[in-house]
Structure 1
Amino acid sequence: MKEIEKRSLTGVVYIFLMLAGAAIHPLIFVVVFGAFLYLTQFEFYKLVETAGNSPRKTTGLTLGLLLFLISFGMVNNIIPTRFYLIFILALMVIFLFEAFSKRRGILQNSAVTLTGFVYVAIPFSLLNFMVYPGYPYSPEFNAKILIGVFFIVWMYDSMAYLFGSKFGKHKIHKTISPNKSWEGLIGGAVFALAMGVVNALIFGQLSMLNWILVALLSVISGTLGDLFESIIKRRLKVKDSGTILPGHGGLLDRFDSLLFVIPVVYVWLNLSGNLL
C-alpha cells in the first residue's frame, strides 16, 4: 500500500472512531476515549523514557484512567462530586513510590509521571463534562459541542497544512517546527472561523458569537499545543511519538492540539455560562 493511501485510510479510521465515540452512546464514548487516554499517556511515558527518565508508568496510567472513569461516573450521577478529593491523596502516591525506591532522580521521575497525568489525563477527563453540558442538573448525553470542536480543530489542521505547503514562506519558529508557517496559520484560522459559523448553523447549542470565539480559542491553543509537543520531540530527538497510526505517527501526535484546546474551551464555556 502506498504511503498516501495508508495515511488516508488511517485518517478515516481515526476520525470514525472519534465521531463514533462522541456521538453514538455514552458507553461507546467511555470505551473509545478511555482507550485513547491510556494509549496516549503511555506514549508520553515511553517518549520521556528515551531521555533517561523513569516515570512510574503503571501508577500514572492507573490514576489517569481512574480520573476519567470517576469523571464519567460523576456526570452520570453515579459517583458523588466529592470523589475528586481522593486525587489529593492519590497524587501523593507518586511521590511516595519514588521516595521509598532505590532509583535515582526521585524528583525528576515524580515530575514526569505527574506531567503525563496533567498533560493527558486531565484534558481527556474534561471531555466527560463537555458531552454532559447540563451537569449537574441534567445527566443527558449531548456531544454536539464536542463534535463541533473536533470539526474546528480538524479544519484548522488540514487547511493550515495545505496553505503552509503551497504558500508558506515565513516560518513561525524555524528551530522548533520548521514546517509551520504564518501563512499556514492564517489560512487555517480563516477556515476554522468559518467552521465555527457552520457549527452554529448545524449544531446550535452555542450562539454564533460563541462558536466563533471557540474557533478562535481553538486556533490559538491548538497551535500552542502542537508547538509544545514539537519542542518535546525536538529536544528528545525523535520524529514521532509512536507508530500506532500508520502514516501519522502516534496518538500523541494526533491529540497534541486537542490536549490544549479542550481545557481552554472548557474553561471558556464555563466562564461564559454555556455549561451549567
Structure 2
Amino acid sequence: MREIVVRALSGIIYVALVIGSILYAKESFYAVFYIFMMLCLYEFKNLIHLSYKWTFVVATLIYLNYIETPTLVSKYLHFLLITSLFVPVIYQLFISKITLTSSKLGHYFLALAYIALPFAMLIQVPFINGEYHPKIILSVFVLIWISDTFAYLVGSTIGKTKLYKKVSPNKTVEGALGGMVAALIGGYIISLYLTNIALIHWIIIAFIVFGFGLLGDLIESKFKREAGIKDSSNFIPGHGGFLDRLDSIIFAAPFVYVYLHIIT
C-alpha cells in the first residue's frame, strides 16, 4: 500500500512540475527542462560509464544556443541532422551489443545525439513564428502519456505477442497497437481545441510521437539491459529515473519539432 501511495505522489509531482513549468512562462519551461536534461545526462553517464569531462559543458552550450534561436536556419537541414544522428542510435537496437559505448568518441556521440540535441530541439517545439505556444508542447506530452498508458493497459490485459522480447520482454504487439490507436484518437481530440494546427497535422504528430516514442523507450531498455539495471535511477520513487520518464519524448521531440516548423 505504501509503495502505491509513494508512486502516486511522485507521479503527481512530476506531472505537475512538467505542466506547471510549461504553462507558467517560457523561462520556467527553459529552466526546468535544462535541469531535466542534466539529470538525464547524469543517469545516462551511469548507464554507459560516460566521462563527466566536457559532457555537461557541451550539452549546456547546445541547449543555450537553441533557446528561441535554433542553430540551423534551414528546416530541412535540421531533418538531415537529426536523421544522421539518430540512425546510428536506432541501429544499436538490432545488434547483439551496443557498439557506440566501446569508445570515448562513441560516448560523446551518444551524449549529443541521444540527450543534448533532443532536449535542445524539444524546447523549440512550442515556438511557432517566434511566439510561445505552451499548449503545443503540452499536447505532445499528453500524446506520450496517452500512448504509454493505453499501451500498458492493453498489453497487460490482452497482450500475447512479444514486440521485441530480447530488449523489452514486457512489451507486446497488442499493447503497441493500443498505444497507437489511443495516440491517434488523442490527436483528433486535441485538434478540436488547438485549431491553429489542422487535424491532419495533429494525426501525423500523434503518429510521430507514438512511433519515435516507442523507439526511444526500446533503446533506453537496451541500454539498461546491457548495464544490468532495471531503472536509470531512483530519483522519482516508484517510477525510476528521469530518463525512464522522458525517454519517449526526447526521442520523438526532434521529429515533432522539424515537422511543426516545416508546416508552419
Q: TM-score, normalised by structure 1?
A: 0.81
- 1:80 Cα offset (Å): 11
1:43 aligns with 2:38: no
Which of 196, 203, 219 aligns to 2:187? It is 196
Contact 2:66 2:120 in 1 (8 A): yes
Contact 1:26 1:141 in 2 (8 A): yes
Counterpart of 1:127 in structure 2 is: 122
Letter paired with 2:116: A
Distance 2:72 2:161 in 1: 51
- 1:28 Cα offset (Å): 0.7
Deviation digits for residues 163-220 of structure 1 (CA, Å, limit 9, x no counterpart)? 1111111110111111001111111111111110111112223101110111111111
Distance 1:265 1:17 in 2: 22
Pairing 1:49-198 to 2, within 5 Å after superposition: 49=49, 55-72=50-67, 74=69, 108-134=103-129, 138=130, 140-198=131-189
Deviation digits for residues 83-105 of structure 1 (CA, Å, limit 9, x no counterpart)? xxxxxxxxxxxxxxxxxxxxxxx
Which of 196, 218, 223 aligns to 2:214? It is 223
Q: Secondary structure at the match of 1:29?
A: helix
Contact 1:61 1:117 in 2 (8 A): no
List runs of 5+ in structure 2 lacking aligned partners: 74-100
Distance 1:8 1:18 in 2: 15
Distance 2:128 2:68 in 1: 14
Contact 2:147 2:183 in 1 (8 A): yes
Counterpart of 2:249 in structure 1 is: 258
1:214 aligns with 2:205: yes
Contact 2:187 2:203 in 1 (8 A): yes
1:32 aligns with 2:32: yes
Letter paired with 1:16: A
Segments ≥4 residues shifted beyond 4 Å: none
Q: Please give the root-mean-square deviation of Cα atoms over the aligned residues, in Å.
A: 2.0
Distance 2:72 2:233 in 1: 37
Distance 1:227 1:80 in 2: 29
Distance 1:73 1:171 in 2: 42
Letter paired with 1:63: V
Deviation digits for residues 131-184 of structure 1 (CA, Å, limit 9, x no counterpart)? 2211xxx3x221221111111000000111111111111110111111001111
Which fold has the larger relative contact order, with Cα–Cα distance below 8 Å and residues 6 or more apart in sequence?
Answer: 2
Percent identity between matched residues is 35
1:7 aligns with 2:7: yes
Pairing 1:228-239 to 2, within 5 Å after superposition: 228-239=219-230
Instruction: Count residues in correspondence.
Output: 237
- 1:107 Cα offset (Å): 7.8
Larger radius of gyration: 1
List runs of 5+ in structure 1 lacking aligned partners: 50-54, 82-105
